[in-house]
């Protein structure tokens, strides 16, 4: 029943926000959902590639290469986290083999990326937080928090993406989504991120920065010198901070460009 807690929380928060709007006139920001399934600018679905200047086609090679690396890393990092031996997944790959099936995943992502590129739709790649949360939801854990078994099936994934498709293609689900308030979604994303932290090596090593090694549990890196482990962890934390800083700067720059234009 606890797996339905986030869904119940979002529904309750949306009902409370609806009651506050009707009773007190208090309005919270909600999802901006288009009225119909169409392109934003009204352009044709197929991108007019022939109208792109020749110099732009060659100039796009560098950003295209960077996007390819980004999609490749994002997909493989997510797949490796999901197929971690601690989840004890066996279907679709040989036991204790973490590379079986990954080539098929990349082939599907490549085909989907090609189709979305010529239609101007957003690229798709495995979502790390959502994927790990889904695996944890279909896992059975013991009292120590370790996975004992996992219910491997395709029904939940099919159901989730069918609902996503319905919210995109049909007016009824799309209008229903417009009543979801943004604060509840921000809380949901924060919960999913925090609940996915246990078991992540970077998080476990970060906590060890404030622990006495003599009372800490044995970890795969316990045989290394603590100074080297802490240095590596601090480099990762600094890199994470740099990523957030760059993202924040890009967000402010986009706002500035929009205000000038």
Q: What is the pLDDT of residues 93-134, one digit of tens each?
A: 565 555 556 677 788 888 888 898 888 888 887 777 778 778
Chain Cα centroid distance, residue 71: 12
Q: What angle do CA 19, 24, 29 make, to 5 degrees?
A: 65
Write phi, then psi, for 89 (nearest 5 degrees).
-85, 140
Q: What is the pLDDT of residue 203?
A: 85
The stretch 182-210 carries a mean pLDDT of: 82
Q: DSSP string spanning 40-87?
A: SS---SS--GGGS-HHHHHHTHHHHHHHHHHHHHHHHHHHHHHT-GGG
Residue-wise pLDDT for 47-96, tens only, equals: 888 888 888 888 888 888 888 888 888 888 888 888 777 777 776 556 55
pLDDT of 258 strictly over 50: no
Indicate the DSSP class of residue 199. Answer: T
Q: Do the Cβ atoms of 220 and 204 come closer than 8 Å?
A: no
Query: Which residues 6+ apart lie within 8 Å of 122 measured at CB?
Result: 116
**Length of the chain as a residue count:** 261
For the range 153-157, what are the long-range contacts, defined as Cβ-Cβ under 8 Å and sequence gap of 24 or more? none
Nearest to 181 by CA among 70, 64, 28: 28
pLDDT over 70 (residue 260): no
Report how far residue 83's alpha carbon sits from residue 91's, in angstroms, rounded to the nearest whole number. Answer: 10
pLDDT given at position 253: 47
What pLDDT score does 77 carry?
Answer: 80
DSSP symbols for 121-162:
PPP----HHHHHHHHHHTEEE-TTS-EEEE---SHHHHHHHH
At residue 255, does pLDDT exceed 60?
no
Helix (H, G, I), strand (E, B) or coil at 223: coil
Token pair 């290394």 in the structure block, residue: 224
Query: Between 61 and 3, whose confidence is greater?
Result: 61
State the pairing for strand pair 147-150/139-141: antiparallel
Q: Which of 35-44, 140-149, 159-168, 249-258 has the lowest mean pLDDT?
A: 249-258
Residues 159, 178: Cα–Cα separation, whole Å: 21
171-177 contact pairs (CB < 8 A, 24+): 171/35, 171/36, 174/33, 174/34, 174/37, 175/33, 177/31, 177/33
């Amino acid at each position: 029943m606890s797996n339905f807690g986030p869904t119940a929380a979002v529904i309750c928060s949306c009902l409370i926000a609806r009651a506050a709007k009707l009773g007190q006139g208090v309005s919270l920001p909600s999802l901006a959902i288009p009225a119909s399934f169409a392109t934003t600018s009204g352009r044709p679905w197929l991108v007019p590639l022939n109208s792109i200047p020749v110099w732009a086609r060659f100039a796009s090679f560098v950003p295209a290469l960077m996007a390819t690396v980004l999609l490749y890393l994002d997909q493989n990092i997510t797949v490796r986290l999901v197929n971690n031996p601690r989840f004890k997944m066996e279907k679709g790959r040989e036991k204790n083999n973490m590379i079986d099936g990954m080539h098929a995943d990349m082939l599907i992502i490549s085909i989907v990326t090609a189709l979305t590129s010529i239609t101007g739709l957003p690229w798709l790649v495995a979502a790390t937080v959502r994927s790990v949360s889904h695996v944890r939801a279909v896992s059975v854990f013991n009292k120590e928090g370790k996975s004992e078994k996992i219910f491997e099936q395709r029904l939940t994934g099919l159901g989730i993406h069918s609902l996503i498709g319905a919210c995109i293609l049909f007016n009824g689900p799309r209008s229903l989504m417009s009543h979801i308030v943004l604060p509840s979604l921000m809380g949901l994303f924060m919960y999913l991120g925090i609940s996915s932290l246990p078991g992540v090596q970077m998080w476990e090593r970060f906590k060890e920065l404030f622990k006495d090694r003599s009372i800490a549990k044995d970890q795969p890196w316990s045989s290394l010198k603590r100074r080297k482990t802490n240095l590596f962890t601090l480099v990762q934390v600094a890199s994470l901070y740099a990523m957030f800083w760059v993202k924040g700067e890009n967000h402010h720059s986009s706002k500035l460009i929009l205000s000038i234009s």
